[in-house]
Each structure stands twice: as structure tokens, then as C-alpha cells.
Amino acid sequence: MRPWRRVALLSATATASYLCRVNVSVAGVLMMRELGLSQQAMGRVFSAFLVGYAVCQIPGGMLADRFGAPRVLGWAALAWVAATGWIAGAGASVGALLCARCALGVAEAPTFPAAAQAISRTIPAAQRGRANGLVVAAIGLGSAIAPPLISFLMVRWGWRAALMVSSLPALAVGCAWMSIRQRTAGPAEEASDGSLAAAPSGRPQSRSFVLLTLSYSLQGYVGYIFVFWFYLYLVEVRHFDLLRGALFGSLPWLLSIVSIPLGGWLFDRVRCDRRAIPMAGLAGSGVFIAVGAHTQHAYLAAICLALATALVLSVEGPFWATMTAVAGARSGAGGGVMNMGSNIGGLISPALTPVLAASIGWEAALMVSAALAAVAALLWYWIRPPAAAA
């Protein structure tokens, strides 16, 4: 398969993965009512996904390094369908929902480490920011589709049927990956420019990688608030109805379809200090979160928080391009380490945010995330990304 066709399939896989990931955040409105779940219980259901997802990042990346992205992503996508069926079939037992969401997290863990591994072995270094940006931008498409699609389906046929329909794209991409034949990858691979990428002897341990992982962890804390709580925040706190909430709930992801590849493209193109791109995205996100949390106008809050989400996601390309430069031929494992950090942050925020909101209010809870976005931006001052290729 040609390199950019593979990027297109990776993008479709990311879209399908996010449909399976965020479907519960939309269906949660009816799930909470039907199953008698509180906001805190729903937060635990959200976080259960991230337990399996975070813990299995490194093993998932290592599997991609060992067996190649097509085989790993094929089996993973088919597992998403099975796990979604388990969630849809679950009764009122919170324990069953927690187990099913954790299983989905385990199945989705290889997705982005495997994508990074595939990109690092097929795309020249000077184009990896935009390639990673295109793949991660596809999560915006999946997240934009989810609110109107699932709201439409669950109003007519219930939340269980809506979840199953949302898993059909995963079935399609799983079959597509399974149809690709690829030789087993070794510890080093010939790069697309003809040079041989040497495999590092172990996990990347440079200061830049450690700071990169820490910054990405904070970015994950901020980003996952909007992945899981934005729609419910609009409905429960800002008092949007279900359909208006679905409309505005799609806005951050529609914006991110532009902002994520744009961030990667700018990171590839800038010839001076490339750190300005992720620093501006993260700091700008913090500013818009603060404004959106403070304003009394519901529509202005929705727009500001949507812009904040688009900005915090715009740095994905720079993060992943920098990681592949540091990790070399073991970008699957390196991506697993970095993404595990992000999802530890994401594991905390969906459960902690409603607890903070209950004790200090939603405005203060969101201000915490604004401050963390600013810290994530500051950490890039000490990160040394590779210079852009001429």
C-alpha cells in the first residue's frame, strides 16, 4: 500500500476508534436516566475505558513494532465491535459497564502507537507532522459525527441500538486492515528516504522525551474533559436541550478537523523555533477555557470552550512528530509511553472534574484545566524538537 493511502486508512481507523470511544458520552444522557446512574458513577464508567487504554499503551506499541501496524490494527478494530456489543448488552450493573468499558480501552490501546509506528516507517521525517496531524484530525471527525448521529438514533431506537450502529465503521476498517499483507517488521526498518533507522537500545530516556511525556499528560487531562464531559456540560450545566447540545457538542470536533492538521503542517514548515506552535496552541486553549468557564452567556461559553478544544488538539502533530524523531525505529513503544502519560491525565480528569464541580463549582473546575494547559505550554520551553528538514 502506498504511504499516503496508508495514512488515509489510518485516519479512517482513528475516526472509527473515536466513534466507539465517545459514543457513551452522548448516550450517557439516556443511560444515566434509564440505569439510575449519577454523574459520579458515569464519570467512573468514562474512566474505566482509560484504565485499560492507559495500561496497555506500551504493550500495544510493542506489538505494533513486532508484528506491524496492519495486523495489530485489524484485530484491534474487530475487538472494538465486540466490546461495544458488550456495553450495549449490559444491564443496570455498574460493574458490568466498568468491565466492558475497560475491555474497550484495552482493545483501543494500540491505535495511535501503531499509527505512529506506521508513519515513522513510511513517511519522510519532514512530512511527519502533517501525516500525524491528518491521522489525529480524524478523531475530530469521529467526535463530530457522534453527537448528532447517536442523538438521532437513540431518540428513535434507544441508546443500545445507537451504540451498535456507531461500531459499524470499526468493523469496516478492521476488515480492511486484515486484507493487507505485510511482512513481519524487525527492530529496524528502511525509512522512506532510503536511510536505515537504527533501533534504540531501550525506551527513549532523553530529557526532551520525559518533558514531552509530561506535557502530553497535562494536555490529555485537559483534552479528555471535553471528550467525555462537553456534551453533558452543555445539557446539564448550560441547559441546552438534547438536539442543541448535540449541535454545539459537534463544534469542537468540526474545528479540530482543521486545527489538528494545521498544527502539524505549521510544525513541519516553521524554520525558526518550532516550539512556538505547540506553546501557542496550549496557552491559547487555557485562555479560551478561562473565558468560557467564567462567562454567564451559554452560547459564548459553548463557542469559547469549542475553540479551546480545537487549540488543545492542534498540538497533536507536533507531539507525535517529535516523539518519532526521538524514538526512531521503536516509535510504537515510544508512542505507547507518551500516550500512556496522556491517558493517565485523561484517566484522572473525567472522574475528578465532576467531583471538583460538586465541591467548588464548574467554573473553578474548568479553571484548574486552564492552568494545567498553561503549564503544558511552558514545558515546551525545555523540549528540543528536531529541526525541520529543508
pLDDT, tens digit, 9 for 90 and up, residues 248-273: 877 887 888 899 999 999 998 887 78
Q: Which among 206, 171, 163 is positioned nearest to 77, based on CA atoms?
A: 171
Instruction: Share the mean pLDDT of the chain.
Output: 83
CATH superfamily entry for domain 3-180+204-382: MFS general substrate transporter like domains (1.20.1250.20)
Within 13 Å of residue 16, how many CA atoms lie on the same side as its CB?
A: 31
CA distance 256 to 314: 7
Among the ranges given (12-16, 80-84, 342-346, 373-377), the one the predictor scored with the smallest mean pLDDT? 342-346
Q: How much is the average pLDDT of 299-312? A: 92
pLDDT of res. 92: 64
> Residue 209 — φ and ψ, nearest 5°?
-65, -40
C-alpha cell at 37: 446512574
> Residue 196 — φ and ψ, nearest 5°?
-95, 120
The one-letter amino acid code at 61 reads G
CA distance 304 to 288: 5
Locate the DSSP E strands across the chain. Answer: 189-190, 196-197
pLDDT, one tens digit per residue, over 118-160 is: 888 888 877 888 888 889 888 767 767 777 888 888 888 888 8
SS3 196: strand
Length of the chain: 390
Angle of CA points 18, 22, 25, to nearest 5°? 175
The kind and range of the H/E element at 48 are helix 39-55
Confidence of residue 390 (pLDDT cuts 50, 70, 90): very low
Predicted TM-score of the model (pTM): 0.73
C-alpha cell at 348: 484522572
The beta-carbon contacts of 201-209 under 8 Å, at least 24 apart in sequence, are 203/330, 203/333, 203/334, 203/337, 204/323, 204/326, 204/327, 204/330, 204/334, 204/337, 206/326, 207/382, 208/322, 208/326, 208/382, 208/383, 208/384, 208/385, 209/323, 209/326, 209/327, 209/334, 209/337, 209/338
Among the ranges given (32-41, 277-286, 353-362), the one the predictor scored with the smallest mean pLDDT? 32-41
- The set of residues, in sequence order, having a beta carbon less than 8 Å from that of 157 and lying 6+ positions away, is none
Q: How much is the average pLDDT of 367-374? A: 95
Q: How much is the average pLDDT of 37-46? A: 78
The ranges assigned to domains in the chain are 3-180+204-382
Q: How much is the average pLDDT of 379-389? A: 72
The beta-carbon contacts of 199-207 under 8 Å, at least 24 apart in sequence, are 199/328, 199/329, 199/330, 200/327, 200/328, 200/329, 200/330, 203/330, 203/333, 203/334, 203/337, 204/323, 204/326, 204/327, 204/330, 204/334, 204/337, 206/326, 207/382
